Amino acid sequence: MRWGHPINLLLYPVIFEQHPEQHCEEVAALFAKQETADRIKRIVEETRLELDDPTQQVRDILESHASEEALRRYL
């Protein structure tokens, strides 16, 4: 997966967190300030596609410290 892909962007702020789901509100607020409504819509759509029909281990995308389950809860 390439850098700049929506899931990468969501995972990057919590790459070193063991419990990323504890940072959902913080990351959502960050995206609300930095991204356009159209870009947020695309990020949500891409994330839903992965969650509804998994194609990869999201933990491996950025070599995250959290478990696969924790990252999917976060997403």
- pLDDT by 10s per residue, the chain, length 75: 455 678 899 999 999 999 999 999 999 999 999 999 999 999 999 999 999 999 989 998 888 999 999 999 999
Q: Measure the CA–CA gap between 55 and 49, rounded to whole angstroms.
A: 9
pLDDT score recorded for residue 1: 47
Domain definitions of the chain by residue range: 6-74
pTM attached to this predicted model = 0.86
Structure tokens at 55: 């194609």
31 and 43 Cβ atoms separated by less than 8 Å:
yes
- Which residues lie closer than 8 Å to 35 by C-beta, 6 or more apart? 43
